[in-house]
Structure 1
Amino acid sequence: MATRALILIEGTRYNGPLYINAARRLGLHPISLSADPARYDYHAPEEIETIRVDTDNLDALIRECARLQATYEIAGITTAEEEVYATVGKLCRHFDLPGPNPESVERCCDKFVQRQLLAEAGVAIPAYRAAANPTEIERFAAKIGLPVILKPAVGSGSSGVRLCRNVDELAEHTTYLLDGEYIWRSSPRILVEQFAQGPTYSAEIMGSEIIGIAAINWGPPPHFVARECIYPALLTDDEYRRIIDASRSCLRALGLGWGPTNIEFKWTKLGPLVIEVNPRLAGGTIPRLVQLAYGVDLITEHIKLVIGDEWDLHRRHSHVAAARKLVADRDGILDRIDGDSLAAAISGVAEVKLYVEPKTPIIRTGDYRDCLGHVVAASPSRAQTETTLHRAVELISWSIAPFSAPLR
């Protein structure tokens, strides 16, 4: 009998290893297809079978998967990365495997098209316009009213997203996006969007079932780097119901409802405003927080869906879990980072992970790449979880030397 394999197209530095470990627990042989396996530190030969292939080329992926079929039974194909999720849907369709609807994913990943569909369905969203040049950006920003958010129409991880509070910041970020510094994966189109003020919430959905809602706290403007996430969010029954109703409206409007979806909201004076619908599992620490809070392993359950098995989203307990990102405060060379072992030893700390090592160059980009690591804590009590997280984070410190200073 052929070994059952799970094909992973690309990955992420955090959730990628979780998919690999979950696949093995389910008795599957994980195989990673990547354009650049060196991007991921879990691609060492002894850790996982890795194949280099152009993951932007559907035909190349089909050929590679067909070749693997001579050796393995391909049980499923999936990814932890948004950029290739539509391609995964097309691969699944080609090999008659369970997978997301690629057309729905493509519509959703284009934030302009996504907003059009949500608006047509009557879902509350910020005012927005799509612009292709500085003149349009300036005109639309004036019409919407400063401050506004400028963001690429296609992208993830807050890359290229910035709050522009005045005309100088608007011009500066326009230049960054359109004059060659920002790396576009598609033709340049920029969303000019109303800045919605209020607390941020993240709804996690599998299929059409809402798993739970987290509260997200951001770092200082003008960038959008998530600093802290706590699960579950403190909401009234009415707030929870309205976010659930809005989430289901998003699924209907966008043709989603297979597999994981992540929806980001702002709670405004008029209620929940949909900021973004992501047709994939949330990145970063959120799957881990859901597991600690409710005992539901979203990654394992996603893989079960991918391979055609029955999933189990039943909550096994109700705890409070929180994560704090360790964010670089300046550019330079990371001289040292320590205290992680002390932090991990605190009772209630579930995880301490550092993403970088000393002597690493740090160049902040105003997105997820500014994070040096994270700390996760959990307990049955919200106050206890918050106290534990604060104690652990206080034990971790680092120093970043200016680029001009000699390394010690």
Structure 2
Amino acid sequence: TGTQKKRFILQRLKKLGVQVIALNKEKNWAASYVNDWIIADTAKHDETIRAVGEYLKTHTVDGIVTFWEDDVLLTAKLCEKYHFVGIPYKVAERARNKLLFRQFCQEHDLPFPKYTSVSSESELNAIAKKITFPVVIKPAYGSSSAYVIKADTIEDLRDVYAYVNKNLSTRVESALKDGSTIIVEEYIDGNEVDIDILLQNGKIKFFSISDNLQTKEPFFLESGYSLPSSLPDQIQKGLIEMAELVLEKLGVMHGCIHFEAKSTDAGPVPLEVNLRLGGDEVYPAVKKVWKVDLIDEAINIACGRYIKIIEREEPAEYVASQSLTSDKPGILSKLFIPKKFDSDLNVDEFHFDKEVGDTVFTPPVAYDFLGWCMVSADNPIEARENLEEVLKQVSYEIVPFSPLSSVGKTARRSRFSSAALSQNFASGKARIEKIRLLDQKNQRRLHIGVACNTYSSAEGAVEAELTSVGKNIEQVLRERGYQTTFIDFNDLNQALEILKNGNVDLVFNVGERLNDSSLLEPHIASIFDAMQIPYTGSNPFTLGLCIDKIKVKKLLTFHNIPTARWDYAYDLSDEINPDLRYPLIVKPANTDNSIGITNDSVVVDRRQLEQQLEYVITSLKRPALVEEYLDGDEYDVSIIGSEEDDLQVLPLARTTFTDLPEGYWHICPFDAKFLDSELYKEKLHTQIPPKNVNQKLLKLITEIALDTYNILDCHDYGRVEIKLDKEDNPYILELNPNPSINKGNRVPTVAELVGMDYGDFLEEIIALAIKRYKNKPPYYHLQPSLG
């Protein structure tokens, strides 16, 4: 079936009354156009041929055809095996493989550029002596210009070859499943054309020559098209004669052929012979200009129905089309397409395949086309003018992301799976050598110190949580065979003594207070660094930065990460930006665990704002962060890992507030988290994972959370909190680089959904920490992320 971009073909077949049997790996979007299915993996030719054979034992089939480049070779095999009209496999292979095609042209006295295959970088110097620059490097089995790159110098060639050789992937171009041979050939200067041909019994029954606009080099991105060709008749005659000769010598007898060529000063040169209908604008353009339906005729040829030579008269109209692309990678953030174009512009086709929020990649990472547009007119000049006017009426904006950004690079197999990235390591040193040399399957031989805070049962809910998390971690690790030592940072002298003399190999750091102050939390990690003891979790800089919500807001704003509009005050005399729109929420700018946040934190006028500022600054003795209130759902995004090789965004958790009674703002205050408020227990609803939520929204939430995690240089695990506004636009609230990971807490709970019980989760954190300390210089983990 191909992708949904091929829907127009199946729609046409259904309109013709053709009984369609689809050969595909699975039933899909095409079901409403298909009469029957043969389910087989078309990438496995032998399996597929057997499946078709079984079907033919009980069903009658009149012909086999493909409109999809990936299945040209399979179609040839099927036609040959079961004696249908088509192209023999050896002929199809010769045309499909660009290296074999070049060799064929050379052997049969047909025009060809100088060429060679390349299998290693060591061959490039010899190639440079044999072929004059500029050259083009391309995969033998590619299509859609994927991995086709121009190189002007030997240095360019080395860089381009290294890139193509390393990154050649069917994820970028599915047609590469047929092979990964790389060729280098001479760059041919000239006018590029497409020749669309109907061939039956070796005779050309119809042809159409179109002009391709100059491709965007060095990646040869297709940019536009016009039909009929404006080349002189004599040049067009030479082109079709050359194409006919090539097809005759190849042995192509039947089919709808998309032939690519160049008209040069030395004459016409064949580039590629595609044994299927041309893509995108080819079908509607030929139908518009010549009144010939290439789908109809391709079916007639495949079914052995004789077609007459189609005499071309004057073109009915002239068409011009253009591909819509982006010069920079990023996220499609804005898009305007008129609901209806002016009728006098004669817009025949307009396709925009991206939506706001979609990622757009550019070569060499990927080859994304946003869409394409085709217009018509009574003459070529007017057609081009119409096209330019249409494109003026369409506007879109791509918000760029840097190569370090995670936006657009994650994918979830399901709501319950983690979103994974790939590549690279990071680390540290010292008695770190033991960690460096440790075989990970032997990590249970480590002596683990559990850094925590211990409080008496008489103290508050937060203190009870801080006490139990360390005790539970120690117990579970002991049950799994680790030697453990509890390190209570409420007794600093004893903690230092244990670290100095206790032979601890690695510290599992869940300490949150020093001298009973959360502001000193980062210094616990600093102690481990000063004593050269490996530890889990983030470094002191990240822990300290994330306590200061004002600095975090400044940093995220600099990186264009969405946060609610905001201001801050260190003193009651500080003026709050009057442009902020009420309601506003006033928070202590450097507390954790939602301390200081109540239902009264949301204010609706100047008087309430001043009262709340006085409470935070005077009573709590904290600076105040003031943000515009967001009343949508709240998401917790739990992340484990440190670098692309091991990052996982765990299943999301969504909190909804719609059942809260009137007078209660849509926030999670301190009493909802720690005071067991019956009202919040009953009226706040958490979904793990979220239900009935737009997948693109979840993807965007995942990716801005991951960028936040990376920008703030979080290590091993963390939790990003995100709030939506009325329009479901996501905004970062904060990153907690040391969230509670007690049994039943949010992060371990969502980890269970990807198959990690509590003990597995703790061991994964240890493994991630070990990984960070391997093969890197001392204190490497204290540097900002270098990508």
TM normalised by structure 1 equals: 0.88
Q: CA deviation at 1:303?
A: 1.0
Aligned-CA RMSD value? 2.5
Which of 116, 130, 139 is the aligned partner of 1:143? Answer: 130
Once the two structures are superposed, the pairs formed by residues 21-170 of structure 1 within 5 Å of their partners are 21-35=11-25, 42-43=29-30, 45-48=31-34, 52-69=39-56, 72-170=59-157
- Give the corresponding residue for 1:199: 191
Q: Secondary structure at the match of 2:2?
A: coil
- Give the corresponding residue for 1:7: none
Query: Residues 340 and 135 from structure 1, CA distance in 2 versus in 1: closer, same or farther, beyond 3 angstroms?
Result: farther
Q: CA deviation at 1:138?
A: 3.5
Q: CA deviation at 1:258?
A: 0.9
Query: Residues 181 and 101 from structure 1, CA distance in 2 versus in 1: closer, same or farther, beyond 3 angstroms?
Result: closer
Q: Secondary structure at the match of 2:220?
A: coil
For the Cα contact (< 8 Å) 2:11–2:33, is it kept in 1? no
1: CA distance, partners of 2:379 / 2:25: 44
> 1:350 and 2:340 equivalent?
no
- Give the corresponding residue for 1:305: 301
For the Cα contact (< 8 Å) 2:168–2:180, is it kept in 1? no
Q: Secondary structure at the match of 2:143?
A: coil
2: CA distance, partners of 1:332 / 1:66: 47
Q: CA deviation at 1:353?
A: 1.0
Which of 209, 212, 215 is the aligned partner of 1:213? Answer: 209
Mark the runs of 5 or more structure 1 residues left unpaired by the alignment. Answer: 1-9
> 1:381 and 2:386 equivalent?
no
2: CA distance, partners of 1:227 / 1:241: 25
Q: How many residues align?
A: 394
For the Cα contact (< 8 Å) 1:150–1:191, is it kept in 2? yes
2: CA distance, partners of 1:12 / 1:231: 26
Deviates more, 1:240-249 or 1:310-319: 310-319
Query: Residues 266 and 337 from structure 1, CA distance in 2 versus in 1: closer, same or farther, beyond 3 angstroms?
Result: same
Q: Secondary structure at the match of 2:62?
A: strand
Q: CA deviation at 1:11?
A: 2.2
Query: Residues 401 and 161 from structure 1, CA distance in 2 versus in 1: closer, same or farther, beyond 3 angstroms?
Result: same
For the Cα contact (< 8 Å) 2:135–2:187, is it kept in 1? yes
- Give the corresponding residue for 2:335: 337
Deviates more, 1:376-385 or 1:174-183: 174-183
Query: Residues 196 and 342 from structure 1, CA distance in 2 versus in 1: closer, same or farther, beyond 3 angstroms?
Result: same
Query: Residues 80 and 176 from structure 1, CA distance in 2 versus in 1: closer, same or farther, beyond 3 angstroms?
Result: same
Query: Residues 372 and 343 from structure 1, CA distance in 2 versus in 1: closer, same or farther, beyond 3 angstroms?
Result: farther
Q: CA deviation at 1:193?
A: 0.7
Q: CA deviation at 1:50?
A: 5.5
What code does the residue aligned with 1:110 have? N
Query: Residues 246 and 366 from structure 1, CA distance in 2 versus in 1: closer, same or farther, beyond 3 angstroms?
Result: farther
Deviates more, 1:359-368 or 1:218-227: 359-368
Q: CA deviation at 1:368?
A: 9.0
- Summarize deviations over 1:102-147 as a string: whole Å, max 9, x none: 2211111111111111122221121111111112233213321221
2: CA distance, partners of 1:178 / 1:246: 33
For the Cα contact (< 8 Å) 1:157–1:368, is it kept in 2? no
Hey, which of these two has a bigger chunk of strand by percent? 1
What code does the residue aligned with 1:11 have? G
- Give the corresponding residue for 1:11: 2
Q: CA deviation at 1:325?
A: 0.7
What code does the residue aligned with 1:337 have? L
Q: CA deviation at 1:36?
A: 6.1
Q: Secondary structure at the match of 1:76?
A: coil
Q: Secondary structure at the match of 1:140?
A: helix
Q: Secondary structure at the match of 1:284?
A: coil
* RCO comparison, higher one (Cα < 8 Å, 6+): 1
Q: Secondary structure at the match of 1:242?
A: helix
> 1:269 and 2:269 equivalent?
no
Q: CA deviation at 1:47?
A: 4.6
- Give the corresponding residue for 2:233: 237
Q: CA deviation at 1:170?
A: 1.3
Q: CA deviation at 1:375?
A: 0.6
What code does the residue aligned with 1:149 have? V
TM normalised by structure 2 equals: 0.47
2: CA distance, partners of 1:222 / 1:234: 25
For the Cα contact (< 8 Å) 1:117–1:253, is it kept in 2? no
- Summarize deviations over 1:237-281 as a string: whole Å, max 9, x none: 221121122111211221113112222222222121222222222
Q: Secondary structure at the match of 1:179?
A: helix
Q: Secondary structure at the match of 2:239?
A: helix
Query: Residues 286 and 54 from structure 1, CA distance in 2 versus in 1: closer, same or farther, beyond 3 angstroms?
Result: same
Query: Residues 397 and 272 from structure 1, CA distance in 2 versus in 1: closer, same or farther, beyond 3 angstroms?
Result: same
- Summarize deviations over 1:51-92 as a string: whole Å, max 9, x none: 542102233323433454577532322111122112112212
1: CA distance, partners of 2:24 / 2:351: 24
> 1:400 and 2:387 equivalent?
no
Query: Residues 334 and 195 from structure 1, CA distance in 2 versus in 1: closer, same or farther, beyond 3 angstroms?
Result: same
- Give the corresponding residue for 2:173: none
For the Cα contact (< 8 Å) 1:86–1:101, is it kept in 2? no
- Summarize deviations over 1:348-385 as a string: whole Å, max 9, x none: 11111111222111122359942111111112321221
2: CA distance, partners of 1:267 / 1:181: 30
- Summarize deviations over 1:282-337 as a string: whole Å, max 9, x none: 22211221111100011111011112223354547612112111112211111132
Mark the runs of 5 or more structure 2 residues left unpaired by the alignment. Answer: 171-175, 406-560, 563-699, 701-728, 730-787
The structure with the largest alpha-carbon Rg is 2
For the Cα contact (< 8 Å) 1:350–1:378, is it kept in 2? yes
Query: Residues 340 and 75 from structure 1, CA distance in 2 versus in 1: closer, same or farther, beyond 3 angstroms?
Result: farther
